[in-house]
C-alpha cells in the first residue's frame, strides 16, 4: 500500500507550448489531464494557454481539478498566460520559475515538447542525481517520442558517464496511467558518489 504521506499530490508537467504535428500529443495531454483529476493530483505547469501546455491545463480545469501555473513576467507580458487557472504565480525570471515549480511538486513528468521541456526535465533530474531531492522523474513517451532520447541515455550509461542507479531514476512509460503508477511507488536510490574518483 502506498504511504499516504508520500502519495503524489502535486505533479509538475513539462511539455510543449506548441501542439506539435502529431494529434496524438494533444490526445495524450488530455488523457493525462483527466487522469490527474481522477487521482486528485494538482497540476503544476508553466502557466501557458498555448499548445500542449494549454490543452493539459484546460482539461484539468474542465474536469474540476486544480491547476497552478508558474510563468515569468516576460512571458506574461506577451499575453500567453492562461488567465483561468486555480492559481497563477508570476516570477521575475526563468530561474525563479523553475525553482518555484520544483519546490511545489512531488514529482515531475516530461511530455512531448522542445528545448524548454528537455532543459527543465534534465535540470530536475540532475538535482535528483545530486541528492537534492528524491522525487520521481518520468518521461511520457507518446508514440515513441522519447525513444531516441532513452537510447542516448542508455549510451551515456554504457559509456560510463552515468551510474546505473542514476539511469534507473528515469521512469519511462507510453501511457500516463502506467507512468503515474511507477511514480507512486518510486523509491529513490541511495545517493552514490556521482563521479568516480580517477587515480592516475
When divided into structural domains, the chain yields a total of 1
- Domain range for 116: 10-184
- Residue 58, by phi and psi: left (phi above 0), alpha (psi -120 to 50) or beta? alpha
Query: Which CATH number fits the domain that encloses residue 33?
Result: 3.40.50.450
96 in a domain, yes or no? Answer: yes
Task: Say if 200 falls within a structural domain.
Answer: no
DSSP code for 190? P
Q: For residue 127, is it within any domain?
A: yes
Asked whether residue 196 is domain-assigned, the answer is: no
For 60, what's the count of Cα atoms within 13 Å in the CB-facing half-sphere?
32
Residue 189 in domain: no
Residue 194 lies in a domain: no
Supply the DSSP string of 113-174, one letter for each residue. --HHHHHHHHHHHHHHHTTS----EEEE-GGGTTHHHHHHHHHHHHTTSS-HHHHTTEEEES
What pLDDT shows up at residue 200?
41
Reported pTM: 0.91
What are the residue ranges in the chain where pLDDT is below 70?
1-6, 77, 79, 191-200
Identify any residues that bridge with 81 across adjacent strands, giving them in sequence order. 48
Residue 193 located in a structural domain: no
Give pLDDT tens digits for 111-125: 999 999 999 999 999
Amino acid at each position: 500500500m502506498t504511504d499516504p504521506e508520500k502519495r503524489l499530490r502535486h505533479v509538475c508537467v513539462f511539455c510543449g507550448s506548441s501542439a506539435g504535428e502529431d494529434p496524438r500529443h494533444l490526445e495524450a495531454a488530455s488523457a493525462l489531464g483527466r487522469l490527474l483529476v481522477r487521482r486528485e493530483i494538482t497540476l503544476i505547469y508553466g502557466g501557458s494557454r498555448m499548445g500542449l501546455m494549454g490543452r493539459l491545463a484546460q482539461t484539468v480545469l474542465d474536469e474540476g481539478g486544480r491547476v497552478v501555473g508558474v510563468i515569468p513576467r516576460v512571458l506574461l507580458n506577451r499575453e500567453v498566460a492562461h488567465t483561468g487557472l486555480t492559481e497563477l504565480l508570476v516570477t521575475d525570471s526563468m530561474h525563479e520559475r523553475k525553482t518555484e515549480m520544483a519546490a511545489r511538486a512531488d514529482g515531475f513528468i516530461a511530455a512531448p515538447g522542445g528545448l524548454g521541456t528537455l532543459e527543465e526535465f534534465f535540470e530536475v533530474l540532475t538535482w535528483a542525481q545530486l541528492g537534492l531531492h528524491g522525487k520521481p522523474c518520468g518521461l511520457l513517451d507518446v508514440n515513441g517520442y522519447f525513444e531516441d532520447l532513452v537510447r542516448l541515455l542508455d549510451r551515456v550509461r554504457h559509456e560510463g558517464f552515468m551510474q546505473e542507479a542514476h539511469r534507473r531514476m528515469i521512469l519511462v512509460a507510453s501511457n500516463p496511467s502506467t507512468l503515474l503508477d511507477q511514480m507512486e511507488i518510486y523509491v529513490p536510490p541511495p545517493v552514490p558518489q556521482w563521479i568516480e574518483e580517477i587515480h592516475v
